[in-house]
Each structure stands twice: as C-alpha cells, then as structure tokens.
Amino acid sequence: MDKSSKIYIAGHNGMVGSSILRLLKKKGYKNIITKTSKELNLVNQEAVSSFFEIEKPEYVILAAAKVGGIYANDNYRADFIYENLMIQTNVIHSSFINNSKKLLFLGSSCIYPKESTQPIKEENLLDGKLESTNQPYAIAKISGIEMCKSYRNQYNCNFISAMPTNLYGTNDNYHPENSHVLPSLVRKVITAKNNDESFIKVWGDGTPLREFLHVDDLAEACFFLMKYYDESEHINIGSGNEISIKKLAELIINKAECKLQIRFDKSKPNGTLRKFLDTSKIKKIGWSPKIDLDLGIEKTINEFKEILKNE
C-alpha cells in the first residue's frame, strides 16, 4: 500500500474501523473510502456489488461486523449469524470480482474451542466445541476465515485473516446490556461512583481469565499485516497478558479512584473460563503491542466520562 492507494475500510464508524481510519490518516494515506451503514448496507448483496463495481478499491479492510457481549450474543443468535455471514460474504466476494489487491478479514478469539489448550495457537481452530453463548457469531467468523483461504487457494487472491483478542478503547460500545465486559465494567463503576452507590454487580463468579488489547494497538497490527503478511492461515493478535474478571473490576475501581464492593451474580454465565492467545507468530515477524492495560484503562475511563457529558 502506498499513500495514494485506494483503501476501503468496511465498518469505519465502529471501534476497530475508526481506529484504523485514524491511523491511516495519521500516516498520510489520502485515498480512503468510507461508507456509513445508511449509505451502504453491507448485508445487501446488490448494494455491495454495485459499490465495488463503481469504486474498485485496491485494498480492503473488513472490520464491519455485528458485535456484542454475552447477553447480546446469546439473545440475538439469528441476527448475529445472519448479518455477519452476509456482510463478510458480500465484501469478500466483491473484492474478488473486482480484483482488489489485498483484503484483511478481522475475526475474534471466540472462534476457538471453549476448552482449547492454552495459550491458544492458530492451529487449535476446530479442535473442539465452541462456547455455546456466542456460537453463531463464532461460526460466522470461522466461515470468513475459510472463505479467505478458499479464494486464495482457488483464485490466488491475497486475502488474509487476523484474530484479535478481546478489544477495548476509543469508540467502544458502553451499552448497559449489549457491551463487552471491560466497557461494561467501566460504565458500572463510573455510574456507581457518580451516584454515590456502594457496590457494583458483575456477571459470573469473577474467575474467568481474559486477555485485553487496546484498539489502537490492533490498528497498528492491521497496518503491519497489510504490509508484511501474506499467508493462508489466520494469525492471532493479542497483548500477551491476561487478567481475571475480578482483578479487572478491582483495577477499574482503583483507576476510577473510588471504593466499591463487587457483588458477583453467579446465576449469570461466566462464558469461556480462559481465552489466552498464543501471539508468537505475529511477534516473530516483527509486531508487538505498546499500550499496557493500566494506561489503556485510564484512557478509557477518561473517554467514557466525556461520553457521559453528552448523554
């Protein structure tokens, strides 16, 4: 990719897409194509086909997806599998039809088996059963990986796939019910502090371990992969560190400079007990994260406080 290359970012308003957009602009890329969901419905095959025929993007970064936490994944199962399958099928196929030079498909660490060996290597894909609460989403993402591999195999397309760990950061979703665990905890803690409450409720028992990566680190990784990675196998992107949900909640409370009790609702699901990615492959070819969790949470708390001012 050079500075004049025509680059299409699918999902540029989302957390991941917006971070990639900011990074590319910062690096001096001028010819970036973006469309809101109102301007281009990626679920609509005809609309996507027409858009690609007109624009002919040279490079495609597929960051668009229907995403959410445990509650959303478990309660909107049909929406998650249908919309994600349609989005990625339409974009990947149109990239092939219109001869895009390279495509990056972004998935999620939830593609791996619920009881996978730890840390999870790329080859652990399809080694066992998926976590039931997000199985529809995971199956859609696995299909996207296979699409990229199949188009590469049959048509020699330079389509690659990357699987990030749990993400957080600028432009995250802080919805009270449909958000992921870290932004959900940030909302709960700041809201409790502002309301002079004495405790927060947390789903599960606090023991599951999670790995978190700041979205700006992911954007840097995506840029790196677009420049240097050209293999059929998907590649993991993670921070290389993990933390329990209990300790994460305690860290957020500490960074918010307040004292709150944590009450665990053990009637709610824990989700997968551990999801720690083996990121030796991407580190071996030259990429590593720069934003540690302490700094990332401080930034996230400050950003959420600004969001609250406008709610």
**Which residues are the active-site residues?**
137
Q: How far apart are CA 59 and CA 1, in angstroms?
A: 8
Half-sphere exposure of 3 (CA within 13 A, CB side): 5
Amino acid in position 214: H
Q: How far apart are CA 283 and CA 9, in angstroms?
A: 25
Q: How far apart are CA 122 and CA 120, in angstroms?
A: 7
- Where would I find the beta strands (DSSP E) of the chain? 7-10, 32-33, 59-62, 102-106, 159-164, 166-168, 199-203, 209-210, 212-214, 235-237, 243-244, 261-265, 274-275
Structure tokens at 73: 């994944």
Q: How far apart are CA 289 and CA 56, in angstroms?
A: 32
**Residue whose structure tokens are 């500075």:** 3
Degrees, nearest 5: CA angle 288-292-296: 125
| SS3 call for 228 | helix
Structure tokens at 8: 């299409």
